[in-house]
């Protein structure tokens, strides 16, 4: 599930491929979703509970809606 219907949903991070990732298990609220069809991925902006601002890039990052 990676579309505009995610905005406002609470998510939990399962896996992030970044040199300085958000810790697995961190919760946050989705603020914006941008699907880049030509590149085959979706950017998901999240207001993380730990105050970090790093976006998800799906794939490869993984999350679950809670």
Which helix (H) or strand (E) segment holds residue 15: the answer is: strand 10-15
Q: What is the pLDDT of residues 50-59, one digit of tens each?
A: 999 899 999 9
How would you classify the pairing of strands 27-36 and 41-48?
antiparallel
Tokens of 26: 């961190």
Asked if residue 19 has pLDDT above 80, the reply is: yes
- Number of domains within the chain: 1
Average pLDDT over residues 10-31: 97
Which residue range(s) make up the domain with 8? 4-65
Residues 6+ apart with CB under 8 A from 50: 22, 23, 26
Average pLDDT over residues 37-59: 95
pLDDT at 3: 65
């Amino acid at each position: 599930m990676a579309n505009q219907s995610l905005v406002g949903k609470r998510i939990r991070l399962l896996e992030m491929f970044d040199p300085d990732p958000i810790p697995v298990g961190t919760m946050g609220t989705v603020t914006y979703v941008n699907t880049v069809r030509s590149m085959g991925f979706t950017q998901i902006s999240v207001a993380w509970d730990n105050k970090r601002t790093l976006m998800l890039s799906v794939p490869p990052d993984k999350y679950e809606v809670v």
